[in-house]
Protein backbone atom coordinates (compact mmCIF):
# COMPACT_ATOMS: atom_id res chain seq x y z
CA UNK A 1 0.00 0.00 0.00
CA UNK A 2 1.48 3.32 -1.11
CA UNK A 3 0.32 6.63 0.30
CA UNK A 4 1.70 9.81 -1.17
CA UNK A 5 1.14 13.31 0.11
CA UNK A 6 0.50 16.01 -2.46
CA UNK A 7 -0.29 19.70 -2.44
CA UNK A 8 -2.51 20.58 -5.38
CA UNK A 9 -3.66 24.08 -6.18
CA UNK A 10 -7.36 24.88 -6.51
CA UNK A 11 -6.48 26.31 -9.94
CA UNK A 12 -5.28 22.89 -11.10
CA UNK A 13 -8.20 21.00 -9.63
CA UNK A 14 -10.67 23.44 -11.19
CA UNK A 15 -9.05 22.98 -14.59
CA UNK A 16 -11.53 21.05 -16.78
CA UNK A 17 -14.20 20.97 -14.07
CA UNK A 18 -17.41 19.54 -15.45
CA UNK A 19 -20.62 18.51 -13.74
CA UNK A 20 -22.40 15.86 -15.81
CA UNK A 21 -25.07 15.31 -13.20
CA UNK A 22 -25.86 11.56 -13.10
CA UNK A 23 -22.85 10.76 -15.23
CA UNK A 24 -20.47 12.13 -12.63
CA UNK A 25 -18.48 15.25 -11.76
CA UNK A 26 -14.92 15.54 -13.02
CA UNK A 27 -11.99 17.93 -12.60
CA UNK A 28 -8.20 18.19 -12.63
CA UNK A 29 -8.00 18.02 -16.40
CA UNK A 30 -10.50 15.16 -16.51
CA UNK A 31 -8.26 12.96 -14.37
CA UNK A 32 -10.20 13.28 -11.13
CA UNK A 33 -13.69 11.94 -10.52
CA UNK A 34 -14.98 14.17 -7.74
CA UNK A 35 -18.15 12.20 -7.90
CA UNK A 36 -18.27 9.09 -10.07
CA UNK A 37 -21.44 8.26 -12.00
CA UNK A 38 -24.38 7.28 -9.79
CA UNK A 39 -22.67 8.35 -6.59
CA UNK A 40 -24.15 10.04 -3.59
CA UNK A 41 -25.85 13.40 -4.10
CA UNK A 42 -24.20 16.60 -3.01
CA UNK A 43 -25.54 17.09 0.48
CA UNK A 44 -23.76 20.17 1.78
CA UNK A 45 -26.06 22.97 2.71
CA UNK A 46 -25.20 26.47 1.57
CA UNK A 47 -23.79 27.68 4.90
CA UNK A 48 -21.35 24.79 4.98
CA UNK A 49 -20.27 25.47 1.41
CA UNK A 50 -19.80 29.14 2.24
CA UNK A 51 -17.79 28.26 5.34
CA UNK A 52 -15.42 26.27 3.13
CA UNK A 53 -14.86 29.32 0.90
CA UNK A 54 -14.17 31.55 3.91
CA UNK A 55 -11.64 29.02 5.20
CA UNK A 56 -9.92 29.01 1.83
CA UNK A 57 -9.97 32.82 1.56
CA UNK A 58 -8.30 33.16 4.93
CA UNK A 59 -5.71 30.59 3.97
CA UNK A 60 -6.63 28.37 6.88
CA UNK A 61 -6.14 24.63 6.44
CA UNK A 62 -9.00 22.38 5.44
CA UNK A 63 -8.77 18.83 6.68
CA UNK A 64 -6.67 16.45 4.65
CA UNK A 65 -8.44 14.92 1.66
CA UNK A 66 -7.99 11.43 0.30
CA UNK A 67 -7.81 10.46 -3.34
CA UNK A 68 -7.66 6.92 -4.62
CA UNK A 69 -5.57 6.09 -7.62
CA UNK A 70 -7.85 4.13 -9.97
CA UNK A 71 -5.82 4.18 -13.19
CA UNK A 72 -2.44 5.25 -14.50
CA UNK A 73 -3.18 8.91 -14.04
CA UNK A 74 -6.76 8.79 -12.79
CA UNK A 75 -8.17 9.40 -9.36
CA UNK A 76 -11.37 9.30 -7.39
CA UNK A 77 -12.07 11.29 -4.25
CA UNK A 78 -12.57 9.04 -1.28
CA UNK A 79 -12.83 11.74 1.32
CA UNK A 80 -13.22 15.46 0.66
CA UNK A 81 -15.88 15.32 -2.02
CA UNK A 82 -18.10 17.93 -0.44
CA UNK A 83 -15.31 20.38 0.35
CA UNK A 84 -13.96 20.09 -3.15
CA UNK A 85 -17.39 20.52 -4.70
CA UNK A 86 -18.04 23.60 -2.58
CA UNK A 87 -14.99 25.33 -3.99
CA UNK A 88 -15.71 24.17 -7.56
CA UNK A 89 -19.31 25.29 -7.39
CA UNK A 90 -18.35 28.68 -6.04
CA UNK A 91 -16.00 29.11 -8.98
CA UNK A 92 -18.85 28.00 -11.25
CA UNK A 93 -20.95 30.95 -10.07
CA UNK A 94 -23.45 28.75 -8.25
CA UNK A 95 -23.63 30.70 -5.01
CA UNK A 96 -22.28 33.95 -3.51
CA UNK A 97 -20.46 34.43 -0.23
CA UNK A 98 -20.98 37.28 2.20
CA UNK A 99 -18.07 39.60 2.93
CA UNK A 100 -18.58 42.69 5.13
CA UNK A 101 -22.31 42.41 4.64
CA UNK A 102 -22.15 42.25 0.84
CA UNK A 103 -22.73 39.28 -1.44
CA UNK A 104 -19.90 38.30 -3.73
CA UNK A 105 -19.97 35.82 -6.55
CA UNK A 106 -16.45 34.81 -7.61
CA UNK A 107 -16.32 37.33 -10.44
CA UNK A 108 -17.05 40.25 -8.10
CA UNK A 109 -14.15 39.42 -5.78
CA UNK A 110 -11.14 41.74 -5.79
CA UNK A 111 -8.25 40.18 -7.71
CA UNK A 112 -6.15 39.43 -4.64
CA UNK A 113 -8.99 37.54 -3.02
CA UNK A 114 -9.81 35.65 -6.19
CA UNK A 115 -6.17 34.68 -6.59
CA UNK A 116 -5.92 33.56 -3.01
CA UNK A 117 -8.64 31.04 -3.78
CA UNK A 118 -7.05 29.86 -7.01
CA UNK A 119 -3.62 29.53 -5.36
CA UNK A 120 -4.89 27.77 -2.30
CA UNK A 121 -3.44 24.32 -1.94
CA UNK A 122 -5.49 21.27 -1.05
CA UNK A 123 -3.55 18.80 1.02
CA UNK A 124 -4.18 15.40 -0.47
CA UNK A 125 -3.13 11.87 0.34
CA UNK A 126 -3.13 9.75 -2.77
CA UNK A 127 -3.32 6.07 -2.07
CA UNK A 128 -2.56 3.13 -4.25
CA UNK A 129 -2.60 -0.57 -3.51
CA UNK A 130 -4.41 -3.88 -3.47
CA UNK A 131 -8.15 -3.71 -2.99
CA UNK A 132 -8.14 -5.46 0.35
CA UNK A 133 -5.45 -3.09 1.64
CA UNK A 134 -7.37 -0.07 0.42
CA UNK A 135 -10.59 -1.22 2.06
CA UNK A 136 -8.78 -1.75 5.34
CA UNK A 137 -7.19 1.67 5.16
CA UNK A 138 -10.38 3.45 4.08
CA UNK A 139 -12.16 2.09 7.12
CA UNK A 140 -9.58 3.73 9.34
CA UNK A 141 -9.63 7.00 7.41
CA UNK A 142 -13.38 7.03 7.51
CA UNK A 143 -13.41 7.27 11.27
CA UNK A 144 -12.30 10.89 11.00
CA UNK A 145 -13.75 12.09 7.73
CA UNK A 146 -17.18 12.62 6.26
CA UNK A 147 -18.74 9.34 7.24
CA UNK A 148 -19.10 6.85 4.43
CA UNK A 149 -21.33 3.82 4.81
CA UNK A 150 -19.75 0.37 4.60
CA UNK A 151 -21.09 -0.07 1.10
CA UNK A 152 -19.80 3.34 -0.03
CA UNK A 153 -16.40 2.25 1.19
CA UNK A 154 -16.59 -1.00 -0.75
CA UNK A 155 -17.72 0.93 -3.82
CA UNK A 156 -14.69 3.16 -3.65
CA UNK A 157 -12.46 0.09 -3.87
CA UNK A 158 -14.20 -2.26 -6.29
CA UNK A 159 -14.72 0.16 -9.13
CA UNK A 160 -15.37 -0.87 -12.70
CA UNK A 161 -18.11 -1.51 -15.23
CA UNK A 162 -19.89 -3.92 -12.96
CA UNK A 163 -20.20 -1.27 -10.25
CA UNK A 164 -21.40 1.45 -12.62
CA UNK A 165 -24.11 -0.88 -13.86
CA UNK A 166 -25.07 -1.97 -10.35
CA UNK A 167 -25.38 1.68 -9.32
CA UNK A 168 -27.59 2.33 -12.31
CA UNK A 169 -30.12 -0.08 -10.78
CA UNK A 170 -29.55 0.38 -7.06
CA UNK A 171 -28.31 3.91 -6.49
CA UNK A 172 -30.26 7.18 -6.41
CA UNK A 173 -33.69 7.89 -5.08
CA UNK A 174 -35.55 7.16 -8.32
CA UNK A 175 -33.59 4.07 -9.31
CA UNK A 176 -35.31 0.96 -10.65
CA UNK A 177 -34.62 -1.14 -7.56
CA UNK A 178 -36.21 1.46 -5.28
CA UNK A 179 -39.29 1.67 -7.48
CA UNK A 180 -39.65 -2.09 -7.52
CA UNK A 181 -39.01 -2.82 -3.86
CA UNK A 182 -40.03 0.26 -1.92
CA UNK A 183 -43.07 -1.40 -0.37
CA UNK A 184 -40.99 -4.26 1.00
CA UNK A 185 -37.39 -3.28 1.54
CA UNK A 186 -36.03 -0.30 3.45
CA UNK A 187 -32.73 1.41 2.73
CA UNK A 188 -31.48 4.68 1.30
CA UNK A 189 -30.27 4.11 -2.26
CA UNK A 190 -28.19 7.31 -2.13
CA UNK A 191 -26.17 5.85 0.70
CA UNK A 192 -25.91 2.50 -1.15
CA UNK A 193 -28.01 0.69 1.44
CA UNK A 194 -30.26 -0.93 -1.13
CA UNK A 195 -27.27 -2.17 -3.10
CA UNK A 196 -25.84 -3.52 0.13
CA UNK A 197 -29.01 -5.46 0.90
CA UNK A 198 -29.16 -6.97 -2.58
CA UNK A 199 -25.50 -7.95 -2.34
CA UNK A 200 -25.90 -9.43 1.09
CA UNK A 201 -28.81 -11.48 -0.23
CA UNK A 202 -27.04 -12.82 -3.28
CA UNK A 203 -23.92 -13.69 -1.26
CA UNK A 204 -25.99 -15.70 1.15
CA UNK A 205 -27.83 -17.29 -1.80
CA UNK A 206 -24.58 -18.35 -3.44
CA UNK A 207 -22.90 -19.36 -0.20
CA UNK A 208 -20.27 -16.63 -0.34
CA UNK A 209 -18.81 -15.44 2.89
CA UNK A 210 -19.20 -11.71 2.41
CA UNK A 211 -19.94 -8.86 0.03
CA UNK A 212 -16.32 -8.08 -0.71
CA UNK A 213 -15.86 -11.62 -2.01
CA UNK A 214 -18.72 -11.12 -4.45
CA UNK A 215 -17.54 -7.68 -5.53
CA UNK A 216 -13.97 -8.86 -6.03
CA UNK A 217 -15.20 -11.72 -8.19
CA UNK A 218 -17.51 -9.62 -10.34
CA UNK A 219 -15.88 -6.20 -10.51
CA UNK A 220 -14.70 -6.75 -14.08
CA UNK A 221 -18.02 -8.15 -15.35
CA UNK A 222 -19.48 -6.09 -18.12
CA UNK A 223 -22.71 -5.57 -16.21
CA UNK A 224 -24.55 -6.38 -12.96
CA UNK A 225 -27.36 -8.32 -14.58
CA UNK A 226 -26.99 -11.33 -12.30
CA UNK A 227 -27.54 -9.18 -9.19
CA UNK A 228 -30.41 -7.29 -10.74
CA UNK A 229 -32.14 -10.51 -11.79
CA UNK A 230 -31.72 -11.97 -8.33
CA UNK A 231 -33.26 -8.88 -6.77
CA UNK A 232 -36.22 -8.97 -9.15
CA UNK A 233 -36.72 -12.67 -8.35
CA UNK A 234 -36.93 -11.83 -4.65
CA UNK A 235 -39.57 -9.14 -5.13
CA UNK A 236 -41.60 -11.14 -7.64
CA UNK A 237 -41.56 -14.10 -5.29
CA UNK A 238 -42.99 -12.00 -2.44
CA UNK A 239 -45.79 -10.71 -4.65
CA UNK A 240 -46.57 -14.23 -5.87
CA UNK A 241 -46.70 -15.86 -2.43
CA UNK A 242 -48.33 -12.95 -0.58
CA UNK A 243 -50.55 -11.26 -3.16
CA UNK A 244 -52.28 -9.09 -0.55
CA UNK A 245 -50.08 -6.23 0.64
CA UNK A 246 -49.83 -5.23 4.33
CA UNK A 247 -47.77 -2.30 5.59
CA UNK A 248 -45.96 -4.54 8.09
CA UNK A 249 -44.32 -6.36 5.18
CA UNK A 250 -41.98 -3.42 4.80
CA UNK A 251 -38.58 -3.79 6.40
CA UNK A 252 -38.42 -7.57 6.68
CA UNK A 253 -35.27 -9.29 5.50
CA UNK A 254 -36.93 -10.51 2.32
CA UNK A 255 -33.73 -11.59 0.62
CA UNK A 256 -33.04 -13.90 3.53
CA UNK A 257 -36.61 -15.25 3.48
CA UNK A 258 -36.38 -15.84 -0.25
CA UNK A 259 -33.08 -17.68 0.12
CA UNK A 260 -34.50 -19.90 2.84
CA UNK A 261 -37.94 -20.68 1.46
CA UNK A 262 -38.21 -20.04 -2.26
CA UNK A 263 -37.83 -23.71 -3.18
CA UNK A 264 -40.98 -24.70 -1.31
CA UNK A 265 -44.42 -24.49 -2.82
CA UNK A 266 -47.15 -22.44 -1.23
CA UNK A 267 -50.71 -21.83 -2.23
CA UNK A 268 -51.14 -18.08 -2.55
CA UNK A 269 -54.84 -17.95 -1.79
CA UNK A 270 -54.35 -20.05 1.36
CA UNK A 271 -51.55 -17.69 2.33
CA UNK A 272 -53.79 -14.71 1.74
CA UNK A 273 -56.48 -16.12 4.05
CA UNK A 274 -53.95 -17.10 6.69
CA UNK A 275 -52.26 -13.70 6.73
CA UNK A 276 -55.64 -12.09 7.23
CA UNK A 277 -56.67 -14.52 9.97
CA UNK A 278 -53.40 -14.07 11.88
CA UNK A 279 -53.62 -10.29 11.67
CA UNK A 280 -57.01 -10.54 13.34
CA UNK A 281 -55.78 -12.91 16.07
CA UNK A 282 -55.15 -10.85 19.20
CA UNK A 283 -52.78 -13.46 20.59
CA UNK A 284 -50.32 -12.74 17.78
CA UNK A 285 -48.14 -10.05 19.29
CA UNK A 286 -45.64 -9.74 16.48
CA UNK A 287 -47.53 -9.32 13.21
CA UNK A 288 -44.27 -8.82 11.30
CA UNK A 289 -43.47 -12.45 12.09
CA UNK A 290 -46.59 -13.74 10.35
CA UNK A 291 -44.83 -14.16 7.02
CA UNK A 292 -41.92 -16.24 8.24
CA UNK A 293 -44.28 -18.25 10.42
CA UNK A 294 -46.39 -19.16 7.39
CA UNK A 295 -43.35 -19.91 5.27
CA UNK A 296 -41.81 -22.23 7.86
CA UNK A 297 -44.63 -23.78 9.90
CA UNK A 298 -44.91 -26.96 7.81
CA UNK A 299 -41.42 -28.08 8.71
CA UNK A 300 -40.31 -26.04 11.74
CA UNK A 301 -41.92 -27.25 14.99
CA UNK A 302 -40.88 -23.98 16.63
CA UNK A 303 -42.31 -21.70 13.93
CA UNK A 304 -44.67 -20.11 16.47
CA UNK A 305 -41.73 -18.25 17.96
CA UNK A 306 -41.99 -15.81 15.06
CA UNK A 307 -45.40 -14.67 16.29
CA UNK A 308 -44.72 -14.06 19.99
CA UNK A 309 -48.00 -15.63 21.06
CA UNK A 310 -49.42 -13.82 24.07
CA UNK A 311 -48.63 -15.56 27.38
CA UNK A 312 -51.02 -15.88 30.29
CA UNK A 313 -51.14 -13.02 32.77
CA UNK A 314 -50.07 -13.53 36.37
CA UNK A 315 -53.72 -13.18 37.36
CA UNK A 316 -54.92 -15.92 34.99
CA UNK A 317 -52.18 -18.21 36.27
CA UNK A 318 -52.96 -17.59 39.94
CA UNK A 319 -56.67 -18.23 39.31
CA UNK A 320 -55.91 -21.51 37.53
CA UNK A 321 -53.47 -22.55 40.26
CA UNK A 322 -55.99 -22.09 43.04
CA UNK A 323 -58.76 -23.77 41.02
CA UNK A 324 -56.45 -26.80 40.64
CA UNK A 325 -55.50 -26.67 44.37
CA UNK A 326 -51.87 -26.71 43.24
CA UNK A 327 -52.20 -30.11 41.58
CA UNK A 328 -50.66 -30.68 38.16
CA UNK A 329 -53.48 -32.18 36.04
CA UNK A 330 -51.10 -34.51 34.18
CA UNK A 331 -48.92 -36.12 36.86
CA UNK A 332 -51.36 -35.37 39.70
CA UNK A 333 -48.56 -34.17 42.00
CA UNK A 334 -48.73 -31.04 44.13
CA UNK A 335 -46.32 -28.20 43.28
CA UNK A 336 -45.64 -24.71 44.57
CA UNK A 337 -46.89 -21.92 42.31
CA UNK A 338 -43.31 -20.98 41.35
CA UNK A 339 -42.65 -24.52 40.12
CA UNK A 340 -45.46 -24.40 37.60
CA UNK A 341 -46.04 -22.85 34.22
CA UNK A 342 -49.09 -21.52 32.41
CA UNK A 343 -50.21 -23.73 29.52
CA UNK A 344 -52.84 -23.47 26.80
CA UNK A 345 -55.27 -26.38 27.38
CA UNK A 346 -56.11 -26.29 23.69
CA UNK A 347 -52.84 -25.24 22.02
CA UNK A 348 -52.85 -21.94 20.13
CA UNK A 349 -52.03 -23.81 16.91
CA UNK A 350 -55.24 -25.84 17.30
CA UNK A 351 -57.38 -22.76 17.79
CA UNK A 352 -57.02 -22.26 21.55
CA UNK A 353 -56.62 -18.68 22.76
CA UNK A 354 -54.86 -16.95 25.61
CA UNK A 355 -58.01 -16.63 27.69
CA UNK A 356 -58.62 -17.56 31.39
CA UNK A 357 -60.80 -20.56 30.44
CA UNK A 358 -57.98 -22.00 28.35
CA UNK A 359 -55.32 -21.70 31.09
CA UNK A 360 -53.98 -24.53 33.19
CA UNK A 361 -50.91 -24.74 35.40
CA UNK A 362 -48.56 -27.63 34.64
CA UNK A 363 -45.40 -28.62 36.44
CA UNK A 364 -42.32 -27.78 34.39
CA UNK A 365 -41.63 -31.41 33.45
CA UNK A 366 -45.13 -32.07 32.18
CA UNK A 367 -45.19 -28.76 30.32
CA UNK A 368 -41.97 -29.62 28.54
CA UNK A 369 -43.20 -33.09 27.60
CA UNK A 370 -46.45 -31.65 26.31
CA UNK A 371 -44.75 -29.10 24.06
CA UNK A 372 -42.50 -31.78 22.62
CA UNK A 373 -45.41 -33.85 21.36
ZN1 LIG B 1 -46.92 -32.67 36.19
| Averages of pLDDT over each 10 residues, the chain, 373 residues | 93 95 88 76 76 95 89 88 93 93 92 95 92 81 69 86 92 91 94 96 96 94 97 98 96 98 97 97 96 96 94 96 96 95 93 95 93 64
In a domain, 194, yes or no: yes
In a domain, 176, yes or no: yes
**Residue 373 pLDDT:** 57
- The reply to whether 96 and 11 lie within a common domain is yes
Sequential DSSP letters for 346-371: S-GGGT--SSGGGEEEEEHHHHHHHH
**Residue 273 pLDDT:** 97
- The reply to whether 118 and 144 lie within a common domain is yes
**Residue 190 pLDDT:** 87
In a domain, 251, yes or no: no
**Residue 328 pLDDT:** 96
**Residue 135 pLDDT:** 83
- The reply to whether 100 and 185 lie within a common domain is no
Ligand 1 centre distance from Cα of residue 57 (Å): 83
- The reply to whether 98 and 198 lie within a common domain is no
- The reply to whether 358 and 322 lie within a common domain is yes
Ligand 1 centre distance from Cα of residue 165 (Å): 64
Beta strands in the chain (DSSP E): 2-9, 18-19, 25-27, 32-35, 65-71, 74-79, 97-99, 102-104, 121-128, 340-344, 359-363
Domain containing 284: what range? 264-310
| CA-wise closest residue to 324 among 346, 312, 347, 341 | 341
Ligand 1 centre distance from Cα of residue 14 (Å): 82
- The reply to whether 19 and 131 lie within a common domain is yes
Ligand 1 centre distance from Cα of residue 328 (Å): 5
- The reply to whether 235 and 325 lie within a common domain is no
* Neighbouring residues of 293: CB distance < 8 A, sequence distance ≥ 6: 278, 303, 304, 306, 307
Ligand 1 centre distance from Cα of residue 336 (Å): 12
Ligand 1 centre distance from Cα of residue 101 (Å): 85
In a domain, 252, yes or no: no
Ligand 1 centre distance from Cα of residue 370 (Å): 10
Q: Which CATH number is 346's domain given?
A: 1.10.30.50
**Residue 41 pLDDT:** 54
Ligand 1 centre distance from Cα of residue 363 (Å): 4
Q: How far apart are CA 371 and CA 302, in angstroms?
A: 10
Amino acid sequence: MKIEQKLIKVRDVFNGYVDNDDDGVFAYGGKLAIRPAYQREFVYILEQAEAVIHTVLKGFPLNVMYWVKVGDDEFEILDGQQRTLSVMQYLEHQFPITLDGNKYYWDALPDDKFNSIMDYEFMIYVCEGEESEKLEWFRVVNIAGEKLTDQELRNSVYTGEWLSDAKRYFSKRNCAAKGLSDKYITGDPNRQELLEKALKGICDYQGMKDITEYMAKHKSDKDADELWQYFQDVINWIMKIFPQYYADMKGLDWCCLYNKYHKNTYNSSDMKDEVKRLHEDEDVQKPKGIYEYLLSRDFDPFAEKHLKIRVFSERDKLDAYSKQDGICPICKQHFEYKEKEGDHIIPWSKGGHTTPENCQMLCKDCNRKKSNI
